[in-house]
Amino acid sequence: MAARQPFPGFAEIHKTNGLMEMKKWWLAAVAAIIATSGCAKEETEQKQSLQRANLLRTHTSGTAKHAELNQGPAERAVAYLRQRDDVRDVVAVNSGDRLLVAYQIPHMKRWSRKQIEKDIDHKLRDMFPGYDVVSSSDLKIFWKTKELKANMDNPRWDERKFNQEIRRIEKLSKEQT
Amino acid sequence: MANEKRKKLTPVQQEYHLFEKERETKRPIVRNCVCAFLVGGIICTIGQAISYFYMYFFDFTEQTAGNPTVATMVFLSMILTGLGFYDRIAQFAGAGSAVPVTGFGNAVISAAIEHRTEGFVLGVGSNMFKLAGSVILFGTFSAFVIALVKTIATQWGGL
């Protein structure tokens, strides 16, 4: 009868440890993949997207206060950009002689992002010669402009603050570093 | 080994070479590629999430969020290297953990840890960029070459 070994052999320990280590790694990898794929759904992004929203509606209450700010140029800019196939989503606001347009470029068309930006900027400047046009495809500018537009429905909306915010976004869009 | 080089070997060396080739462990290239792809992708996803974090909560645009994101990723990899966790990731992922910017942080800190016993000035100070120095040198040089190519292409190439 073979003598019972009190301790498992080195190779056996090594094998068990190796298997456990591998299991751990695979579990961590699977957890990471699930977490990242869950994030990839971009739920908040979809909620923020204005693709299904009525972009032309800038005020709902119809009060004189909101009617003061004619959003005609912004509406025309949105209508023009929505026709283009190199623009996925667009939001625009205008105040005084300032027109702020933010848009998103489809993912695969971002290769020629600079060209698209240049082209859109030229077209908008031609369309609105009397306006100081600020256009950007930056996501942050898009979020901020969308927020600004949403705030126009707020009863406590203030035109002075609105102009300040437009200037701030304009400054942000020109920042390089 | 290339055939030309093998011809220069003595018969005993050639025999040994064949003997060694039969017994050497085969590298799982496909598995390594898949691991590098997955881990590299996960690191990039984390980087993208950090970039979105800076854009959402601070006044960074898509263009300017890159700088704090890179700094954060390098800092995180430095911490993980110090804790000994990044080495394990690197063993599993290989190039997937070395190629992203996190590999730079790992190269700096691992060299610093290695030479800690030689003192802070002559050990850590002079050896810290032993590995990362080449990354900085060739990174700067390749950036210069690409900028040169771009300048030529846009100024005279009409692109």
What is this model's ipTM? 0.72
Write out chain B residues lying below 8 Å of A25, CB-based.
Answer: 92
3-state DSSP percent of chain A in helix, strand and coil, to 5: 60, 10, 30
Whether A147 and B35 have beta carbons less than 8 Å apart is answered as: no
Question: Cβ of B61 and A172 within 8 Å?
Answer: yes
Enumerate the residues of chain A whose CB falls inside 8 A of the CB of residue B42.
32-33, 36
Q: Average pLDDT, stretch B82-105? A: 92
What amino acid is encoded at B59 in this protein? D
Mean pLDDT on A101-106: 95
The residue to which tokens 């304009």 are assigned = A170
Confidence band (pLDDT; 50, 70, 90) for A5?
Answer: low
Long-range CB pairs of B2-8, under 8 A, 24+ apart, other chains included? none
- Is the pLDDT at B159 greater than 70, yes or no? no
* pLDDT of A79 over the 90 cut: yes
Mutation site, B35, B55, B61, interface A, largest A CB count within 10 A: B61
Supply the pLDDT for residue A154: 82
Q: What is the pLDDT of residues A14-43, one digit of tens each?
A: 666 666 666 777 767 776 666 556 555 444
Nearest Cα of chain A lies from the Cα of B108 at a distance, in angstroms, of: 25
- Chain A residues within 8 A of B64 when measuring between CB atoms: 175-177
pLDDT of B3: 64
Report CA-CA distances (Å) from B41 to A33, B54, B89, B139: 10, 20, 13, 21
Establish, for the pair of chains A and B, how many residue pairs have beta carbons separated by less than 8 Å. Answer: 34
| Three-class secondary structure of residue A54 per DSSP | coil
Q: When comparing pLDDT for B118 and B6, which is higher?
A: B118
Torsion of CA A71, A77, A81, A87, to 10 degrees: -70
**Predicted local confidence at residue A153, as pLDDT:** 81
Report the amino acid identity of residue A36: T
